[in-house]
């Protein structure tokens, strides 16, 4: 008999306790031995990994674990904590205080006042009052055991599809590699309900499942992941490079892969921030769809992500209003999605339309929009709005260390002209490799790179290609 769970691979604290029903002999296998076993013994690796993954999914589905979240489902912070735990594959049980009868009694049991909500209770005795993501990470020991002094072969910044691919290839090819992620693995793809054009998944795969599998795969090869840790700068004056964070600490590596992707543009509406997480969302996954079943929702944007969100939400919402600024979807969206939108009886496509205002108290209650051609204004009761209006690159943290185009996307390889390289003081006689930036040994992949094509497959491809050039740089 064997037991165990995904945390055995990551080396994090165990989520559950197991008790034998009869007198038993227990053989404990250390993490290093287990990792070496799953890397070398294919049949056992299949059995263990499948059992671990399925066990974790079951714990998540049944909310069994060491965390209880008390909060209101209308609260922005409750949503943030739920999203953070879900995207980090942490099982938790949720007590919705809007529905719970005896709220005060419940709060008294944990000695918390109503103003400290939401509250996260860990192992029945640690009470975190409206914790930020870093506090949750520290409490759960997500980043424990990561040696911060050690100089690594490769550090990857960002664990979206591009970063996850780089870490899987890097670790499987024997590099000493760490990935640093500001939030949770999966990146933008992790917010997609279903990716249908990624090779090998004819029935589609949710971004969350794709990221979860990639993350487990990376751990199988011994890679480490640091989460809820935003890189704030790169000390690029000397090598090894030092990745800088908020406080004094830094992480050193001989090569760096920048895979920090992009994030959605924000709607130019005055009180937007009041409703972010409380009616305005940037991803359309199972988590959001549960909150707006049977209601009217709005999706803004004309790209593939907006199309996917509209089709996905139409399965649970009463009506989906899809608002597009231009007068056609043809230039921005894949044909298969346009067809599905046209064929969905409860999706209303509104072209030439822009949001003019949002209203509500502590949650979004209504949305107003205007047709730019007819000037007609319409206001509707809407409790959920999905904003998907293009993206800006996450490259500002590099503070000019690498050459970027006018929009901030990082230039690489042959996109770097002789003048660009001279301005950046490129020190080598060779030209930058494919995907290499204006700093030797620093690569940029995926949506943060100038000229990227905004696809999961291309991000994954670039992440894997960069690793082959990392080997060359390390050998120089
Ligand atoms: C809703 C939605 C649906 C989509 N559907 C499809 C689809 O069906 N098919 C398809 O091919 N593509 C799809 N895309 C596009 C695809 O998801 C992206 O092209 C892909 O995710 C890009 O991957 P990436 O790794 O380059 O960047 P991202 O996915 O943006 O990941 C970047 C990661 O870096 C982290 N990060 C950023 N800054 C820092 C920092 N300073 N320090 C540490 N970490 C940082 C972020 O938290 C993030 O996790 C979709 C996108 C969205 C949003």
State yes or no: pLDDT of 75 exceeds 90: no
Residue 309 CA, closest ligand 1 atom number: 1
CA distance 14 to 21: 20
pLDDT of residue 160: 97
State yes or no: pLDDT of 248 exceeds 70: no
Q: Is the CB of 162 under 6 A from ligand 1?
A: yes
State yes or no: pLDDT of 233 exceeds 90: yes
For 276-301, write each residue's pLDDT tens digit: 888 999 888 888 888 888 899 999 99
Tell how far the Cα of 209 is from the centroid of ligand 1, in angstroms. Answer: 14
Q: Is the CB of 182 under 6 A from ligand 1?
A: yes
State yes or no: pLDDT of 234 exceeds 70: yes
Residue 447 CA, closest ligand 1 atom number: 26
Q: Is the CB of 285 under 6 A from ligand 1?
A: no
Local confidence band at 193 (pLDDT 50, 70, 90 cut-offs): confident
Q: Is the CB of 188 under 6 A from ligand 1?
A: yes
Q: Which residue has the higher pLDDT, 289 or 233?
A: 233
| Candidate of 188, 286, 307 to mutate for ligand 1, largest count of ligand atoms within 8 Å of Cβ | 188
State what percent of residues in the chain have pLDDT above 90: 72
Q: Which of 157, 149, 211 is nearest to 180 (CA)?
A: 157
Q: Cα-flanking dihedrals φ and ψ of residue 369, to 5°?
A: -135, 165
Q: DSSP states of 158-216 as a string?
A: --SHHHHHHHHHHHHTT--EEEE-SS-TTGGGGG-S-B-SSTT-TT-B-HHHHHHHHHH
Tell how far the Cα of 245 is from the centroid of ligand 1, in angstroms. Answer: 21
CB 244 within 8 A of CB 234: yes
Tell how far the Cα of 308 is from the centroid of ligand 1, in angstroms. Answer: 15
CB 171 within 8 A of CB 217: no
Tell the residue nearest (CA) to atom 12 of ligand 1: 455
Token pair of 475 as six digits = 């050998």
Q: Which of 88, 3, 93, 13 is nearest to 54 (CA)?
A: 3
**In which element (H, E) is residue 224 found?**
strand 224-226
For 384-429, write each residue's pLDDT tens digit: 999 999 889 999 999 989 999 998 999 999 999 999 999 999 999 9
For 138-178, write each residue's pLDDT tens digit: 999 999 889 999 999 999 999 999 999 999 999 999 999 99
Tell the residue nearest (CA) to atom 7 of ligand 1: 195
Tell how far the Cα of 188 is from the centroid of ligand 1, in angstroms. Answer: 3
Which letter, b or e, does each residue of 129-155 get, where b requires 16 or more Cβ atoms within 10 Å of its Cβ? ebbebeebbeebebbeeeeeeeebbbb
For 83-117, write each residue's pLDDT tens digit: 999 999 999 999 988 887 777 887 888 888 888 88
Tokens 């990227």, residue located:
452
The residue-averaged pLDDT of 9-27 equals 87
Q: Which of 409, 402, 469, 474 is nearest to 438 (CA)?
A: 402
Q: Estimate the crossing angle of helix 133-140 against helix 76-87, to 10 degrees.
A: 40
CA distance 431 to 198: 33
| Candidate of 209, 260, 451 to mutate for ligand 1, largest count of ligand atoms within 8 Å of Cβ | 260
CB 121 within 8 A of CB 67: yes
The residue-averaged pLDDT of 435-444 equals 98
The residue-averaged pLDDT of 352-369 equals 94
Tell how far the Cα of 159 is from the centroid of ligand 1, in angstroms. Answer: 8
This prediction has a pTM of 0.87
pLDDT of residue 74: 80
Q: Is the CB of 454 under 6 A from ligand 1?
A: yes
**120 DSSP β-pair partners:** 69, 128
CB 170 within 8 A of CB 253: no
Q: How many residues does the chain have?
A: 476
């Amino acid at each position: 008999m064997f037991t165990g769970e995904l945390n055995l691979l990551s080396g994090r604290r165990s989520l559950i306790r197991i008790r034998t029903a009869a007198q038993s002999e227990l053989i404990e296998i250390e993490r290093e031995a287990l990792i070496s076993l799953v890397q070398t013994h294919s049949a056992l690796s299949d059995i263990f990994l499948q059992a671990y993954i399925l066990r974790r999914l079951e714990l998540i589905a049944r909310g069994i674990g060491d965390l209880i979240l008390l909060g209101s489902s209308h609260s922005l912070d409750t949503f943030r904590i739920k999203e953070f735990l879900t995207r980090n594959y942490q099982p938790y049980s949720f007590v919705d205080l809007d529905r719970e009868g005896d709220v005060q009694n419940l709060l008294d049991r944990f000695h918390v006042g109503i103003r400290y909500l939401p509250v996260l209770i860990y192992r029945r005795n640690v009470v975190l009052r409206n914790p930020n993501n870093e506090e949750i990470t520290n409490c759960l020991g997500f980043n424990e055991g990561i040696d911060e002094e050690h100089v690594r072969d490769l550090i990857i910044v960002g664990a979206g599809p591009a970063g996850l691919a780089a870490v899987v290839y890097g670790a499987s090819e024997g590099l000493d590699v760490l990935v640093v992620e500001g939030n949770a693995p999966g990146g933008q793809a992790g917010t997609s309900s279903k990716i249908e054009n990624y090779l090998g998944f004819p029935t589609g795969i949710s971004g969350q499942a794709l990221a979860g599998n990639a993350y487990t795969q990376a751990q199988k090869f011994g890679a480490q992941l640091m989460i809820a840790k935003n890189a704030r700068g790169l000390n690029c004056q000397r090598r090894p490079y030092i990745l800088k964070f908020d406080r004094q600490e830094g992480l050193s590596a001989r090569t760096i892969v920048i895979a920090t992707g992009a994030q959605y543009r924000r709607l130019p509406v005055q009180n937007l921030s009041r409703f972010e997480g409380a009616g305005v969302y940037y991803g359309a996954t199972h988590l959001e769809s549960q909150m707006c079943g049977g209601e009217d929702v709005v999706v803004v944007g004309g790209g593939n992500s907006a199309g996917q969100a509209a089709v996905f939400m139409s399965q649970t919402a009463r009506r989906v209003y899809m608002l597009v600024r231009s007068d056609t979807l043809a230039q921005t969206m894949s044909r298969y999605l346009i067809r599905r939108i046209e064929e969905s009886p409860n999706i209303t496509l509104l072209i030439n339309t822009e949001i003019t205002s949002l209203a509500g108290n502590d949650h979004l209650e209504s949305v107003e929009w205007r047709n730019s051609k007819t000037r007609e204004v319409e206001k509707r009761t809407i409790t959920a709005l999905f904003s998907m209006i293009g993206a800006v690159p996450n490259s500002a943290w590099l503070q000019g260390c690498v050459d970027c185009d006018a929009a901030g996307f990082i230039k690489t390889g042959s996109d770097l002209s002789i003048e660009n390289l001279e301005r950046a003081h490129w020190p080598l006689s060779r030209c930058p490799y494919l995907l290499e930036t204006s700093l030797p040994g620093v690569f940029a992949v995926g949506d943060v790179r100038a000229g990227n094509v905004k696809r999961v497959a291309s991000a994954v491809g670039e992440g894997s290609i960069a690793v082959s050039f990392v080997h060359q740089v390390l050998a120089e």
